[in-house]
Amino acid sequence: MSILATSHHHRELPDTPYNLWMRDELADLLDLPHDGTRAEIINGEIVVSPGPDIAHNLIVQDIWHAFSAARVLDASFPWRCVATQDVNLSEIHDGYIPDLCFLPKETAASTRRAQIKKALPEHLGLVLEVTSPTNASDDRLPGKRRSKPTKWNGYARVCIPYYLLVDRDPAVARVTLYSEPEFAIGEYRESTSWEFGDIVKLPEPFGLEIPTDEWEPWLRHPS
């Protein structure tokens, strides 16, 4: 299931989608099941996506483990990660839920103490999205399936330094690290890609290698 709320639908709501999302009222208004279904605001529209499959979650776990292992090996490792964290892109009135967010350890400590509920872009050094069949076009550069601005544009617009996209589409099966965000136009100027099976080598300030030999594209089902 993937639902894009139109502007007509927006007018039927008691407030703007962004304000409802900020107050944690949107999911209840849409009567969403509590099964991992996510409601995000992308370019001002409500986008509802089902919970991901096991292969998707295991990719997220592999990346989490790479960061966790680095922390175990080196107590000074400067990054912490959190899963399915609400991110408030207040500048553009969007609200995303990346698969993983990566924060400098000092920022993680301060946001923990402050009990921050929705992270802000300035808290984050890198965000991860792993595509699913229903919503891959929301995570990528704008294209034929979604010509409007996507999360790729939104992350660049609010200047999150790095965006790691794992695209499980069988036609792609690729990992791309985007960098050098240009806030004025909402685009990343630089990118580096790896095919599934390669070792992803994240540059400094991360300095990590992530094997992808067990990663698989999603299955194409007969039409």
Q: Could you state, in order of their start, the residue ranges of all structural domains in the chain?
A: 53-211
Chain centroid to CA 93: how far? 16
CA angle 83, 66, 127 (to 5 degrees): 40
Separation between Cα atoms, residue 44 and residue 219, nearest integer Å: 31
Q: How confident is the model at residue 221 (pLDDT cuts 50, 70, 90)?
A: low
Separation between Cα atoms, residue 27 and residue 95, nearest integer Å: 13
| pLDDT given for residue 8 in this prediction | 30
Question: Cβ neighbours of residue 72 under 8 Å, at least 6 residues apart?
Answer: none
pLDDT in tens, 134-146: 999 999 999 877 7
Alpha-helical (H) ranges within 13-121 are 17-22, 26-29, 54-73, 105-114
| pLDDT given for residue 201 in this prediction | 98
CA angle 143, 174, 119 (to 5 degrees): 75
| pLDDT given for residue 17 in this prediction | 95
Q: How confident is the model at residue 200 (pLDDT cuts 50, 70, 90)?
A: very high
> Lowest-confidence range among 7-11, 29-33, 96-100, 190-194?
7-11
Q: How confident is the model at residue 86 (pLDDT cuts 50, 70, 90)?
A: very high
3 state SS of 175:
strand
| pLDDT given for residue 182 in this prediction | 97
Chain centroid to CA 11: how far? 27
> Lowest-confidence range among 9-23, 102-116, 166-180?
9-23
- The average pLDDT across 119-131 equals 98
Q: What percent of the chain has pLDDT over 70?
A: 94
Please answer whether residues 55 and 39 qualify as being in contact, where contact means their C-beta atoms are separated by less than 8 angstroms.
no
Average pLDDT for the chain: 92
Question: Cβ neighbours of residue 149 under 8 Å, at least 6 residues apart?
Answer: 42, 43, 142, 157, 186
| pLDDT given for residue 114 in this prediction | 97
pLDDT in tens, 29-85: 998 888 889 999 999 999 999 989 999 999 999 999 999 999 999 999 999 999 999
Domain 53-211 bears CATH identifier 3.90.1570.10: yes
Q: What is the reported pTM? A: 0.92
Q: How confident is the model at residue 222 (pLDDT cuts 50, 70, 90)?
A: very low
| pLDDT given for residue 220 in this prediction | 76
| pLDDT given for residue 4 in this prediction | 43
Q: What does DSSP assign to residue 171?
A: T
Whether the predicted pLDDT of 5 surpasses 60: no
Whether the predicted pLDDT of 9 surpasses 70: no
